[in-house]
Structure 1
Amino acid sequence: MSDHPVFNSTYRAFLFDMDGTVLTSIAAAERVWTTWAVRHGVDVESFLPTIHGARAIDTIRRLGLPGVDAEAEAAWITEAEIDDVDGVFEVAGAAKFLRSLPARQWAIVTSAPRELALRRMAAAGIPEPAVMITAEDVTAGKPDPAGYRLAARRLGVEAGQCLVFEDATVGILAAEAAGADLVIVTATHEQPVETLHGTLVDYDMVRVQVDAAGLRLHAV
């Protein structure tokens, strides 16, 4: 959708989800969550599609499993994911694209804990941003808009002045609720996405124009 209004519009800042948007960690995450699901008697096939984009603690609480300490289980998930970054790599062109942005005009907003986020970004060669909102920074994870609103505030702008790069349903809902414009990164999507938002296969497909007015995304 290179003719979508988000291309060639001017924004004060770009806000990026992490997993599935600037890097892919699907294989590693699904290995860990499969182990966890089997241990707790959760049907793996129906469960795995629900894990993406949300905080681990929210995913576990949503199941309502009796006798399960969600905080302890989420901590186990985090440690296991930190230990397993095999197959974590950048979405094509993401690292170069992020390095082309002014440091105070972009942020990452992820449902991952900070230590896990930094581990995966290092594994994928993704630069660490000046502003990064992680699971510890909010009391309500995506689809709540708090993370995107907080990132915008720390960059000194309004969420409505930002373009959000997302891939997962909960993140899309969070960005919409924050009042930001959206572009959906489809690099890890197995099926075509139907959306009124702009779409982007990967970052080799775009460049950014930086000037005094802000950031302008161009399809190439």
Structure 2
Amino acid sequence: MSDHSVFNSTYHRAFLFDMDGTVLTSIAAAERVWTTWAVRHGVDVETFLPTIHGTRAIDTIRRLGLPGVDAEAEAAWITEAEIDDVDGVFEVAGAADFLKSLPAHQWAIVTSAPRELALRRMAAAGIPEPEVLVTAEDVTAGKPDPAGYKLAARRLGVEPAQCLIFEDATVGILAAEAAGADLMIVTATHEQPIETSHATLASYESVQVQVNAAGLRLHAI
């Protein structure tokens, strides 16, 4: 974790987590499904796949602007296919135990996945289901819009500025910044180094959380 001294002295009222790439990895499964879809629609797979991560399926499809495509119907197909395919969906090392160490009323997951898919992937990866789960259906604008993170903070009874957000993808980082929260970039699933001014976390096994009346404080071990 870089620049961890900042967080050693900072208490947060809640921790908010992205799901895919942050507490679990589903890259292989997602790319299998999206490759099938892209080939069917004549979309170049190599250039398209890097754009799917972190965003709602319907936003990804709409962004392509394909003529005659029903974005809602296609997004529903993607969701069903991803629910059926959880082969290779695993927790990010140490994530489950880290989440279990947090008070249940002080953390949430904010994902671009639909609720049914999010629950399926969390179960496959052994990630505990949070009391507050914000999914694609809960917002009208997905990441990089901060609506999901603002909603999660509100459901936990705190302000976004009182939260530490754990993210891995560019659109999620932009959403967290727009929400006005502190940000921790989880790099465990990154194949390439990321250039960022934010603190980074390579492993949940390298950190612990101190819990007291002031809130949650993350520190390196």
TM-score, normalised on structure 2?
Answer: 0.98
The number of residue pairs the alignment matches comes to: 220
Aligned to 2:49: 48
Aligned to 2:154: 153
Against the structure 1 CA distance between its residues 67 and 199, is the aligned structure 2 distance closer, same or farther, given a 3 Å change threshold? same
Q: Which amino acid is 1:34 matched to?
A: T
1:209 is the counterpart of 2:192: no
Q: How does 1:4-153 map to 2 (within 5 A)?
A: 4-153=5-154
Q: Which amino acid is 1:16 matched to?
A: F
User: CA–CA distance in 2 between the matches of 1:131 and 1:123?
Assistant: 19
Describe the superposition over 1:102-130 as per-residue Cα deviations: whole angstroms up to 9, x where unpaired. 00000000000000000000000000000
User: CA–CA distance in 2 between the matches of 1:141 and 1:4?
Assistant: 32
For residue 75 of structure 1, give the secondary structure of its aligned residue in structure 2.
Answer: helix
Aligned to 2:170: 169
Query: 1:219 Cα shift?
Result: 1.1
Check whether the contact 2:4–2:219 (CA below 8 A) recurs between aligned residues: no
Describe the superposition over 1:8-44 as per-residue Cα deviations: whole angstroms up to 9, x where unpaired. 4100000000000000000000000000000000000
Check whether the contact 1:2–1:219 (CA below 8 A) recurs between aligned residues: no
User: CA–CA distance in 1 between the matches of 2:56 and 2:9?
Assistant: 33
Percent identity over the alignment is 85
Query: 1:4 Cα shift?
Result: 4.8
Aligned to 1:200: 201
Question: Which portions of structure 1, spanning 4 or more consecutive aligned residues, are displaced by more than 4 angstroms?
Answer: none
User: CA–CA distance in 2 between the matches of 1:96 and 1:44?
Assistant: 36
For residue 117 of structure 2, give the secondary structure of its aligned residue in structure 1.
Answer: helix
User: CA–CA distance in 2 between the matches of 1:215 and 1:119?
Assistant: 28
TM-score, normalised on structure 1?
Answer: 0.99
Describe the superposition over 1:40-73 as per-residue Cα deviations: whole angstroms up to 9, x where unpaired. 0000000000000000000000000000000000
User: CA–CA distance in 1 between the matches of 2:36 and 2:214?
Assistant: 49
User: CA–CA distance in 2 between the matches of 1:173 and 1:37?
Assistant: 26
Q: Which amino acid is 1:149 matched to?
A: K
Check whether the contact 1:12–1:213 (CA below 8 A) recurs between aligned residues: yes
User: CA–CA distance in 1 between the matches of 2:72 and 2:115?
Assistant: 16
Query: 1:6 Cα shift?
Result: 3.0
Query: 1:5 Cα shift?
Result: 1.4
Question: Which structure 2 residue ranges, 5 or more long, are not aligned?
Answer: none
Check whether the contact 1:159–1:179 (CA below 8 A) recurs between aligned residues: yes
